[in-house]
Structure 1
């Protein structure tokens, strides 16, 4: 029987005793979670302003505290099932049980290549290349990670798009919420995607001074580049909705390697999201170019995740903070061409 995941309260939050069991494929070993709220469901009248979002940062055992993709996905699906079950209740039952609050799962994954739902099956040659050994070294963080060896996993997902990579040096953020919840202003598919992107852009500007832009044609967040330089993607976005309940989200490249041979640079094994002629970048790569890479040592994945959660939570409560206006979008786009 798979072990239960352990939840640990973050500093100054209320300790709770609860657990869920990972689904099939989850690896053995305990995973701890910093849970920033005490209740999963709360009657609307009791919800404190700006604290509607429950944030759980998952950490795994061992150096780096990396979390297997399957383990995080099991937690996401357990949360999502609660939302979907609530939506099947009668109005009276829903009123008595309380409305599910938006949740955010964040984690730093073990190496995993994920495929889009409409993507063609991999050839045996592609699969062999994807699963060849990967050597991970993250020297620029507060607690450096010396070389660790991994065999990447390959997973099919429910999102759109093509192949992308998740792994050490990347912050993955998966909000699980009902886009039509009575607790907040409703989302459309477009405004929800815009909220994910806008939160990420603000985070990168506030913490690291990075100017970014978005475009309707290619989801995610891109770093401003000088004229004539290839476009560089710093955050990938992929979302799945079921009965307006969200899954997956956005992944930000913090200090994941983006250069070198494919034994150390996972992006060299494929064309990220099928985007020919465009590059993948990271916070570290951009700060190194600016000569300020030491700035990254002031932060770690946990604190970056907490800041993203705060910004995202503000947007849930105030829908004017869910995106950028068209003038700003155009300005950033022009600056990058």
Structure 2
């Protein structure tokens, strides 16, 4: 299942949540494949909380041969287990991070896909070597997550739309013209979710992680992203919570962070966006994440402190993320300076051998 050849196993069970706001219906999505079918599907998810059952729902899209497949069964029949309190760390290597400022959204998307492809390629090569040695993977494999990394980004002003607003629900040309007239670009993204804003003053984190070594489901991965954001806010003495709606909130009305994730063959991309000192006027021009009547806030607004910025928040986010995911985070300049140079060149010039 971890290579590009056809596989004979099913993808892990994911939650599929239908989203009528007043009546959330939790279901599971089980995607089955046979030896003659294509390689594993790409899955885009965005998180919703089912308030009564206290479960996390995943809106999942799976594509085989360019056709969308949704196969669902009631969640009550699946016996979904709760996420573990902590993540086991079986020989996990330190997690490098790099901060990229004023990055156009399209370039960040291209960069993420290249890094995901790199992860998949390196894993395939490693497994091929292990297979040739005819030894158990555990005896020959290097530390788990050795190719993981996290991109910390501040974007140029951009409105992005997720998979839920495509096709019949796509934004029309006039609306795109209106949004771009505000000084922002408009981009349709692979992530789950609906329209939101990214721009200066917002900390966007794109973890490129292999979920396989830590045996973490997509559902639990999204849950841990929420916990990392809540821990970051706590470092600033801001109490944040999850609600029945997407993202992380100060209360039922004020949202401080958004989550939209893409997973391909266990490799994550896209991620989360935490408002630090973002210009919140951009959010007034849209119905952010499709949630009518809700507000968007920031750490700066909650603390009434205009001195807060992304670079000040990054250390607290790294602490919260590292604690939540049980990983040591290190600057990429120390962990892998060659890769950092390639990434920086790609960001600046649009090319690089990843």
* TM-score category, normalised to shorter length: 0.5 to 0.7
Are 1:222 and 2:249 an aligned pair? yes
Deviations 1:237-278 (A, max 9, x none): 0001111110111101111122xxxxxx11122100110111
Are 1:235 and 2:257 an aligned pair? yes
1:73 matched to which residue of 2? 109
Are 1:58 and 2:85 an aligned pair? no
Matches within 5 A, 1:40-119: 47=93, 52-59=94-101, 66-89=102-125, 91-93=127-129, 95=140, 100-119=146-165
1:124 shift after superposition: 1.9
* Larger relative contact order (CA 8 Å, sep ≥ 6): 2
Query: Quick one: structure 1 residues 316 and 126, their matched pair in 2 at CA, closer, same or farther if it must change by over 3 Å?
Result: same
1:254 matched to which residue of 2? 276
Distance 1:205 1:90 in 2: 40
Matches within 5 A, 1:110-149: 110-119=156-165, 120-133=169-182
Kept in 2: contact 1:213–1:221 (CA 8 A): yes
Distance 2:190 2:286 in 1: 20
Matches within 5 A, 1:11-22: none
Distance 1:305 1:200 in 2: 11
Kept in 2: contact 1:112–1:152 (CA 8 A): yes
What secondary structure, in the 3-state scheme, does the structure 1 residue paired with 2:212 have? coil
Are 1:267 and 2:283 an aligned pair? yes
1:45 shift after superposition: 6.4
TM-score (norm 2): 0.59
Distance 2:158 2:128 in 1: 43
1:111 shift after superposition: 0.5
1:314 shift after superposition: 2.9
Segments ≥4 residues shifted beyond 3 Å: 44-47, 94-101
Instruction: Name structure 1 gaps, 5 residues minimum.
Output: 1-43, 60-65, 134-150, 225-229, 259-264, 319-337
1:172 matched to which residue of 2? 204
Q: 2:226 aligns with which of 171, 188, 197?
A: 197
1:211 shift after superposition: 0.7
Deviations 1:161-198 (A, max 9, x none): 210110111110110101112xxx32111211111111
1:142 matched to which residue of 2? none
Distance 1:188 1:111 in 2: 32
1:304 matched to which residue of 2? 313
Matches within 5 A, 1:156-167: 156-167=188-199
Distance 1:128 1:46 in 2: 47
Deviations 1:121-173 (A, max 9, x none): 2212211111113xxxxxxxxxxxxxxxxx31111111222101101111101
Deviations 1:294-333 (A, max 9, x none): xx52x54224223312321233337xxxxxxxxxxxxxxx
Kept in 2: contact 1:116–1:157 (CA 8 A): yes
Query: Quick one: structure 1 residues 282 and 91, their matched pair in 2 at CA, closer, same or farther if it must change by over 3 Å?
Result: same
Distance 1:106 1:240 in 2: 16
Number of aligned residue pairs: give it: 225
Deviations 1:213-252 (A, max 9, x none): 103x32211003xxxxx61000000001111110111101
1:46 shift after superposition: 9.0
